[in-house]
Amino acid sequence: MHANGDDFVIVDCRGEQPFINAGIVRRLGDRNRGVGFNQLAVMTDCEDADARLMFWNPDGSTLDACGSATRGVAWKLMREMQSSCVTVRTERGLLTCKQAEDGLIAVDMGDPLLHWADVPLAREADTLRLPLDGSPAACSMGNPHCTHFVEDAEAVQIEARGPEIERHSLFPMGTNVHFVQVINPERIRLRIWERGGGISSGSGSCACGAVVNGIRRGLLQDTVAVECDGGSLTVTWNGAGGVSLKGPVQSVFHGVWEA
């Protein structure tokens, strides 16, 4: 499936023992010899939700949150259950997903984490203005986010700056990197370098992290249209509580993996 070009694979292991490991993920994630994806989501049975999700990057590392794949799983479950509301359990907790009136899928991504140790950072620092060039802001949506506010997002050399910031010593677990141009308080242009994945045409958790940091800086209203390379998302946060993410998802193909 994909969400604004942010492609992901869903492996349905409900009713059986999960078999996914880092080696299989790397093989599946190879765009020349496998399927290729920005993230992989594994669905398993769950006693207190419609499914439990685990997320992987194509390099075989895991992550706690993926807004695009969460919406994709919700889309799949809604059609199976003939329901407009489902719940999924992730490392972020129990997430509620709904089909909006416009047909888009909305998910409550949980509360952002703002303390330096929760991002995490390697040492104590003000997450609103990090001691890095450009004074970016940081937060966690279950994965780390570093947001640079720039005059012209199109002019940023993401291929050079993204990996340098991702692997900076301030981020012991690496970080997603955003370059945000504020068009007006209700609209931003977002370009993304994903931790463990590289340039992405769209990312739900990155859109959430970027908007949270923009609101914290006093640059944005509580509902923001986020223009990614691949399309638009809507993020809502009132400064407390969970962050709402709404956007499209589309099924591309399904198949059977022959290991």
Given this model, what pLDDT does residue 188 score? 98
| C-beta of residue 100 within 8 angstroms of C-beta of residue 106 | yes
Q: How confident is the model at residue 102 (pLDDT cuts 50, 70, 90)?
A: confident
Identity of residue 26: R
Show the tokens assigned to 185.
């308080």
Going from N- to C-terminal start, the domains of the chain cover 2-103, 116-246
Whether residue 167 has pLDDT greater than 70:
yes
Given this model, what pLDDT does residue 65 score? 86
12-36 residue pLDDT tens:
999 998 889 999 999 999 999 999 9
Whether residue 183 has pLDDT greater than 90:
yes
Identity of residue 6: D
Q: How confident is the model at residue 196 (pLDDT cuts 50, 70, 90)?
A: confident
Q: How confident is the model at residue 101 (pLDDT cuts 50, 70, 90)?
A: confident
Residues of the chain above pLDDT 90, percent: 88
Whether residue 258 has pLDDT greater than 90:
no
Whether residue 187 has pLDDT greater than 70:
yes
Could you tell me the end-to-end alpha-carbon distance of the chain, in angstroms, rounded to an integer?
Answer: 21
32-47 residue pLDDT tens:
999 999 999 999 999 9
Q: What CATH architecture does domain 2-103 belong to?
A: Roll (3.10)
> Can you tell me the distance from the alpha carbon of 69 to that of 24, in angstroms, rounded to the nearest whole number?
18
The two domains 2-103 and 116-246 share their CATH topology (first three levels equal): yes
Q: How confident is the model at residue 259 (pLDDT cuts 50, 70, 90)?
A: low
Whether residue 123 has pLDDT greater than 80:
yes
Mean model confidence pLDDT for the chain: 94
**Chain CA centroid to CA 138, Å:** 15
Whether residue 78 has pLDDT greater than 70:
yes
Whether residue 80 has pLDDT greater than 80:
yes
The candidate with the shortest Cα–Cα distance to 139, out of 178, 185, 190, is 178
Which of 56-65, 139-148, 163-172 is least confident? 56-65
> In sequence order, which residues have a C-beta less than 8 Å from that of residue 53 and are 6 or more positions away?
41, 42, 43, 44, 69, 70, 73, 88, 89, 90
| C-beta of residue 213 within 8 angstroms of C-beta of residue 138 | yes
Given this model, what pLDDT does residue 204 score? 92
Mean pLDDT of 211-224: 98
| CATH number of this structure's domain 116-246 | 3.10.310.10
Whole-prediction pTM = 0.90
Given this model, what pLDDT does residue 75 score? 96
Helix (H) or strand (E) segment spanning residue 6: strand 6-12
Question: What's the DSSP call for residue 256?
Answer: -
